[in-house]
Chains A and B, each alone.
Chain A
Amino acid sequence: MPFKDKVFRFSKRLLVSTEEAEDATQELYLKLWRNREKISSYKNVEAFAMTMTKNYCFDRLKSKQASNLSLVHSNYRENGTSLDKKTNLNDSVSIVHQLIAKLPEQQRMIIQLRDVEQYEYEEIGKMLDIKQTAVRVALSRARKIIREQLIKQHNYGIN
């Protein structure tokens, strides 16, 4: 399975929970397997798989919105309490994780696909079905938000 890790990481970025992401990966591969004859005619199977992952995760998020997802979100809010903040400040990596988690879905996906998975703008555009320029705009916005937050946190840590 050449890109299963990418699918897994991408769905984890969207669904937050590891178990959900594992289920999503499994489900996606089943779907690909069932359509394997159709898929072999596609030029870029990986991009197609990422699009399918995105759609599947969105479906999951929609159906889970009422029950489980609210729990996940409250977990994140709890991290914002003063005590957790102090301990997390040392762990700069988890700060970045939380900053990305707070971004809107579109920006989160683009950050994941570009900065973690290192796809070309053109590929990302195809995966998310948007224009390259839109990818760049959203990416730039996301990167700037993260930078601002990081600088804020950095100064806060020094004081």
Chain B
Amino acid sequence: MESIKIEQLIEKYLDAETTLQEEAVLQDYFVNSKVAPHLEEYQALFGYFAESRNERYTKTIQLKTKKTNWKWFSVAASVAILFSVYTGYNNIQERAEAEIAFEQTQKAFQLLSKNMNKGTAAIGYLGEYQTTTNKIFKQPVK
């Protein structure tokens, strides 16, 4: 009795003339009740539809990717600025150190040259001493 009704519905179904309600009746028949043997091949079909309906999208959807992109961009920019400031500061410091070292070496050279001058002045006296000895001792005639 019921299978006749189902057969009629299937005819309509294949011609795409069933309403959603009628298709729900078919669905219910093939999934939940005992199916007449000559209609078995439809069981797979409606079983498949019912099963596909249960497939879910399990991942989370991310919507604000654009905003976070900007955030990361600003983070990267601030890191770059910090780095350049750091290296710039280091450069200045190096230069100052170099200047100090230059001054100190200059001082050291000045000290050296002062003492050197003292030494050469002393050598001047030595020269005087030489001339006096030349006066005292007669030089051999060449």
| B128 CB–A CB distance under 8 Å | no
Q: B82 an interface residue at 8 Å Cβ cutoff?
A: no
The answer to whether B14 and A93 touch across the interface, beta carbons within 8 angstroms, is: no
**A37 contacts chain B at the CB level, 8 A cutoff:** no
Given contacts A33-B63, A151-B41, A154-B41, contact A93 B20 (CB under 8 A): no
Is A115 in contact with B49, judged by CB distance below 8 angstroms? yes
In the complex, what residues of B have CB within 8 A of residue A150's CB?
Answer: 41-42, 44-45
Q: Is chain B's interface secondary structure helix, strand, loop, or mixed overall?
A: helix
Q: Are A4 and B44 in contact (CB under 8 A)?
A: no
Residue interface bits B40-62, CB-to-A below 8 A is 1, else 0: 11111101110111011101011
How close is B43's CB to chain A, nearest CB, in angstroms?
8
Interface residues on A, range: 35 or more
Stretch at the interface among A52-60, A75-83, A138-146: A138-146
CB contacts between A and B, total, < 8 Å:
77
Task: Answer yes or no: B7 CB below 8 A from chain A CBs.
Answer: no
Q: Is the CB of B52 within 8 A of A116?
A: yes
| Complex interface bits, B13-39 against A, C-beta within 8 A gives 1, otherwise 0 | 111110010011000000000000000
Partner of B59, one of A22, A33, A117, A136: A22
14 contacts between A and B (CB under 8 A): A4-B57, A8-B55, A8-B56, A9-B53, A92-B43, A92-B44, A92-B48, A93-B44, A93-B48, A95-B44, A139-B16, A140-B14, A147-B14, A154-B40
Top-7 shortest CB links A-B: A92-B44, A8-B57, A96-B48, A140-B16, A139-B16, A136-B16, A150-B41
